Amino acid sequence: MNRAWRLIPLYIGVVIILLYTLFPLYILFLLAFTPAAYTTIAIHSGNYPTLYPAGFTLYNLQAAFGIPEIMTALIKSLETAFLVGGLALLIGIPAAYGLSRLKPKIASIISTTLFFANMLPSVTIAIPISATFLRLGLNETFLGLALAQELIVLPLTVFMLLGAFQSLPREIVSQARVDGAGLMTTIYTVIVPLAKAGVAAAFLLSWMMSWDEFTFAVFLSPAQPTLPILIYEYVTRGYILEAAAFSMIVTIPVVVLVIFMAKFLKGEILAGGLNG
């Protein structure tokens, strides 16, 4: 009994925090699936919107999918995100393996450099990159956008993969080398399969960060937008309800991903570049 009473403050904290985290998502749900009369129209005419689903409609979603731009934006977002995820593994796996083999002191200097690159403001970097891409014909392409977004994603991917590789038993790794497997063969046939959960998580994290990315997208691909930019444009043009439907489309996959990946998203990884 005594123990149960002592948990009350804990549960109050839990409830308050969950209300704060879930309320905005609930609002998004209301906006997307309730008739406008109870949401935006109420707000814009100075009334209070209802806090419960006062009605149900698929009209907003249908209206949003009736806009031809959405398919182009969806395809562009998907192409970019998969390319970013793929590149992250292509460059990240060898780099993380290399880092795991170096002396901790040197590895830490290299990690800090990667981390520092991650800190540089996207806004500052985007303007010169945009000028360069203009010359190379890469502006507005998903390739150019993916190359720029890779920058934000790569350091985190490397730290995540490094964490996954370091948790493998060292004997297996050296065993494979003694057996005479070449280095690249060792990495791809022994280490990657053993660390597959971590590798998958690294891919999904980079995929997700690209899917959400705004700054590079608005500087490098304003005319052929990705989904986030499309939402921005629709809101600024006053199409509030379509934006709600777009937002649902952007949000559902990432929420599923976060639920799936929650146990991989560890503080040690985000801190990776500066730890030790």
Partner 1 sequence: MFRWKEDYTAYLLILPAIVYVAFFSFVPSIQAVYESFQTPSKQFVLSNYQLLFQGTDLRNSIYNTVVVTLLALAIQFLVAMVIATILMKEFRGKNFFQVGFMIPFGVATIVASYVFGNDNIFAISGGYANTILHYIGLPQPQWINPNNYIFNVLGLVIADSWKNTPIVAIVLLAGMTTIPPDIYAAATVDGAGAISRFLRITLPNLSNYIAIALIIRGVSEFNIFAMAQFLFPHKILTTLVFSYYGISGTTYLSYAVATILLAFIVLFSTLVLLYRSWSQKS
Residues 192-231 interacting with partner 1 (rule: CB under 8 A): 208, 211-212, 214-215, 218-219, 228-229, 231
DSSP track, 136-159: HT-TTSHHHHHHHHHHHHHHHHHH
Nearer to partner 1, 27 or 74 (CB): 27
Q: Would you say the C-alpha torsion 219, 221, 226, 232 has a positive or negative sign?
A: positive
Pair of tokens at residue 144? 């150019």
- With tokens 């053993």, the residue in question is 194
Q: Which of 52, 68, 105, 124 binds partner 1 (CB under 8 A)?
A: 124
- Provide, rounded to whole angstroms, the least separation between the CB of residue 35 and partner 1: 16
Q: Which segment (10-18, 57-65, 167-175, 193-201) binds partner 1 by CB under 8 A?
A: 10-18
Separation CA 56–CA 58 (nearest Å): 7
> What is the closest distance, in whole angstroms, from the C-beta atom of residue 169 to partner 1 in the complex?
19
Q: Which stretch binds partner 1 (CB under 8 A): 56-64, 65-73, 189-197, 251-259?
A: 251-259
Please, are residues 130 and 196 in contact by the beta-carbon 8 Å criterion? no
CA dihedral (214, 225, 44, 59) in degrees, to 10, reads -120
Among 74, 117, 168, 200, interactor with partner 1 by CB under 8 A? 117
Footprint of partner 1 on 47-106 (CB under 8 A): 47-49, 51, 91-92, 94-95, 97-99, 101-103
Binding residues for partner 1, rule CB under 8 A, total 90
Q: What is the closest distance, in whole angstroms, from the C-beta atom of residue 55 to partner 1 in the complex? A: 17
Of positions 109, 136, 172, 274, contacts partner 1 by CB under 8 A: 274
Instruction: Yes or no: say if 94 and 185 are a contact pair by the CB < 8 Å rule.
Output: no
Q: Is 275 in the site for partner 1 (CB under 8 A)?
A: yes
Q: Does 120 bind partner 1 (CB under 8 A)?
A: yes
Q: Choose, by CB under 8 A, the member of 1, 2, 5, 24 that binds partner 1.
A: 24
The tokens of 206 are what?
Answer: 């980079």
Site for partner 1 in 150-189 (CB under 8 A): 150-151, 154-155, 158, 183
Please, which residue, 142 or 211, has the CB nearer to partner 1? 211
For residues 241 and 36, the answer to whether their CB atoms sit within 8 Å is yes
The angle that helices 196-212 and 142-166 make with each other, rounded to 10 degrees, is: 150
CB-count burial class (<10 Å; 0-12, 13-18, 19+) for 11: exposed
Please report whether residue 237 would count as binding partner 1 according to CB under 8 A.
Answer: no
